[in-house]
Amino acid sequence: MCGVFYVDDDTMREIEKIARKIDQKLATTGDVRPSQPALILRADHDEIVSEVLKWGYEAHGKKSLIFNARSETVQEKPMFRCDFERHRCLIPVNRFYEWKRIDNKKKEKYEFYSPEKIMYLAGICHKDPSGDRFTILTCEAVGCMAGVHHRMPLILEREDMGNWLFSQKEAIELLKMHFERLQKKKCAEAEYQQMSLF
């Protein structure tokens, strides 16, 4: 899964290279959690643009946000189907975090990152009267992630950015992607106190 990710200055510079324009007043760095705003990349006609959206879909009748969607069922679920067809996006991040449950009380916190420094998490956006939102797609965990959690974000290669954003046919194929170059680092014990969000 993905419940917290981190955006650094390098990530922001990368977004500036890709997107047509960025509102610098809204571009922030640091940890991002569900309900908080983050910069995403989306298609606008034949261009890639950046936009600030809140993380997590609002579900009618529920207090909790839906901040992850399974890549295996995103084409079938009524909540996600149309957004996958029309409103795919990418969330550039420097790293994300996951917690491994050791027993009923203790959790270990891990940081996951890529040798390429910036990862592109596949997502979808939803038009909402209260403000547009996004959610991150997840897939079965592989590599070093598998020993910590059974799900991981769907991570795409930089060269697949255009295919994901502009081509429905290619996007369907990219749902099968498994990013196996993740690296992990155990966080300092003092950081374990932060509660997992899923």
pTM value is 0.91
Kindly state the average pLDDT of the residues 28-34. Answer: 90
Q: Measure Cα distances from 78 to 57, 74, 75, 83, 126 in Å.
A: 13, 9, 8, 9, 12
Report the b/e string of 75-95 with b at 16+ CB within 10 A.
eeeeebeebbeebbbbbbbbb
Calculated CA dihedral for residues 149, 153, 156, 158, nearest 10 degrees: -110
Structure confidence by residue, pLDDT tens digits, 90-101: 999 999 999 988
pLDDT in tens, 145-189: 999 999 999 999 999 999 999 999 999 999 999 999 999 999 976
68 vs 192: CA distance, rounded Å: 22
Least confident stretch, 46-50, 60-64, 163-167, 175-179: 60-64
Q: Compute CA 183 distance to the chain's CA centroid, rounded to the nearest angstrom.
A: 17
Q: Which domains does the chain have, with CATH numbers?
A: 4-193 (3.90.1680.10)
